[in-house]
Structure 1
Amino acid sequence: MNDRLVQSQIEELERKLRAYERLIEKLPFPFTFADYESGIAIEKKRGDVRPHLRTIPPSLEKEAKWQWDIDLHRDVPFEKVEAFLTPLLDLVPHHIVFVDAQGIITLCNLQAAVDTGVDRDAIIGKHIRELLKLPDELIATLESLEKGEPLYNYEVLDRFYGIVNTRFIYNDDGSIKRVISMFQSLNMMKETEKLAVAGRIAAGIAHEIRNPLTTVRGYLQLLKSDLPDRIASLVERLLIPELDRANDIITDFLNIAKPADVKMETFNLHRFLRDDVGVLLQSEALLHNVDVHFDLDDQLDDYEMNGDRSQLLQVFLNLFRNAVEAKVAKTMRVSICSRKINHLVQLRFCDDGPGIPPSVIDHVFDPFFSTKETGTGLGLSLSKKIVELHRGTMKVQSDAHGTCFLIEFPLCSQPPFLSS
């Protein structure tokens, strides 16, 4: 009976020993383990399958010593490295994308996904052209991959205006394992320069034109009663309204350069869209034969947003009036959607109008740019500025089937820090 028990214990110890041996064989990195209590050291060198055991002299050391040499490139599957790096690279405000030798995306940081309008998880495993929506010959990463040469401060002049740098990670045989691309957008710098110019122009307009306009309007109003009826009517119906219109243009332009103070409050996003925006647009919609439809994400039903309701209302009113002015069919459908995407609240204002021509779509947010004969070209510029003051972004997508304006805000409960 005792012999069988001893034999069973020996077999159990042998199974454990074989399991430990297989574990050590599977460890991909070199190490040394010195167990002073047993007087045995286990050493495994890089490339070895089985470890080497040797006897070590007695020592006063009580605790075992463990040393290892992990090479992330050789000893760890690179997919694990990318999974570790992803949350760190999400903190970088530039676009960082990893592709393999076939141009397939293996890592895409959050900034790249947000700026290109894709779902970051869905784009992994797709070709980089599906992220950038550009022909292969215009993608700097693929150019770098094809030539086998990294890019240093390569200037990109397409719709993604900025600087690209690429670096390679190689396999042991010298082939390319990954191309790491970092894109630094200069669009914000370009926008800042535009706003600086706009501010200087606006200040000049305010001083040089507004005061004379006010003076002229005052004298016309004063002299109107002394003029013949025909001329007085002309002053009342044409001259004074035109002066008021010019003054309104100056006011809008000044708001782009230096918007009014933002009056912060907290409100439920969906109630704001249904009750405030919906009521505001409904009366306009009836007048212009427009059907307004809301498609709101259930995930955001309880979302409390921080912002200036009146200024955000102005954004939606500007977008609606733009859509109506472009309407060519008898009826038009406008949809307002909300979605929770990654760490963002996305609002989409879409119409089924004729769309914006590709030749002008990059300029729709420029001050004074308008395709309408009576337009001032300030509505969209002012709307974009209001959204940016709420720490959001505003973009446009358009084709022959209609136009969509995408407004995105960070998904957070804290109010943004706004400056006047």
Structure 2
Amino acid sequence: MKHIKVRILATIWVSIFLLFVPFYIILNLTLPVHFEKEAKAALTYEMEYMSSMQKQESEDAPALDYVGIFFSGDICFIDLTQDPAENSAADNSYGKYNVQSAEHDVLSYYDSQGLPFGQIRTLKTDNGYYIMVLYEDVFSWDGEKVPTIMYLNIQPIVQYTKRLNWLLDAIFLCVAAIMSVIGFRLGGQIEESQENQRRFFQNSSHELKTPLMAIQGYAEGIQTGVVDPIHSAEVIMQESDRLTRMVEEILYISKIDVHQLVLHIAVLDVRELLYDCLRSAEPIQNKKQCSVVTDFPDAPVRVRCDEDQLTRSFMNVLINGMRHCDKTVWLSCKADRHIITITIRDDGGGMDPQDLPHVFDRFYSGKKGNTGIGLALASDIIRLHKGSITAHNDKSGAVFEIRLPVAP
């Protein structure tokens, strides 16, 4: 799959956009409508209360207890019978009525459009968002009904909610930026994993071809009678064993990659595992005609491990040392209260400095040929045991250090 990072980023931005759209709708559409409804309800309640008071005076009916609702405390009144000079102390800068800006907007609408008694109207101007109604005020000093405009300006609260858009924009950008960084890194890891997988299968097929071609070549030689059958059979057996080991290692690495390798953990003496490796590696040691110098402590060194898997990792590193040594391999084990350190050192001259960072990479092709997957598998198994393995050169050759936690 190509362009994984781009696809992940696109998915993240679209998802975040769809997540924030409802909030934008609520802030910019739903809340203003809700506030307008609340304002109309407040004016309606006020008129109902006035009506109940009027009935109480004329019919001796019980009046409503005034409890008010949302916006009731913000209602403003304009007495249409009052002298304009008494409506406001402001300068006479608005023509017919000497009033403040909000009253000027309401009265301008009243003059131009008129207001039917008891019918709520809505007015939006540059200065306000007005909900208003014309009614007869029964609370005049002389007891007369006074035509009065009752109104609410909900623009401040509507503008406040719209200012929250800036906060929402900032949150949107922050979330998008953080998720983009995470998605970009995740996409990079996926692309790297897919590239490693592609190289793994490509290199696996290449490595498997080598013994298969040798087997096929010697088999054809036997068939045509151009090679010695006994020698050819030995080569075929050797290449078959090599092919079997490679297939097993590839299968083990595949299980590790998909987290299907089950470890059967037990507390064991790591010295015994190393002795088992030495016994198993004797054929290679005899063929190489090299010696192995050991340095183990007298006391047991306990480690929690899967015996087969950890032995396999030790074996791979030990055989690598035997194959590249000149005459000697040194194998040592020491432990403190927390860490076990196993060192495998050879006198083969060491690794090329350019190859050192890649010595545990699968099928890495160095200057001395492919390292295969033996060291890569050893590294993976050791990590599964919460340990680590490193490689470096010393005066005589390559040095591999394996560190594992001591069993409690």
TM-score, scaled relative to structure 1: 0.40
* Structure richer in strand, relative to its length: 1
* Structure richer in helix, relative to its length: 2
Higher relative CO (Cα under 8 Å, sequence separation at least 6) belongs to: 2
TM-score, scaled relative to structure 2: 0.41
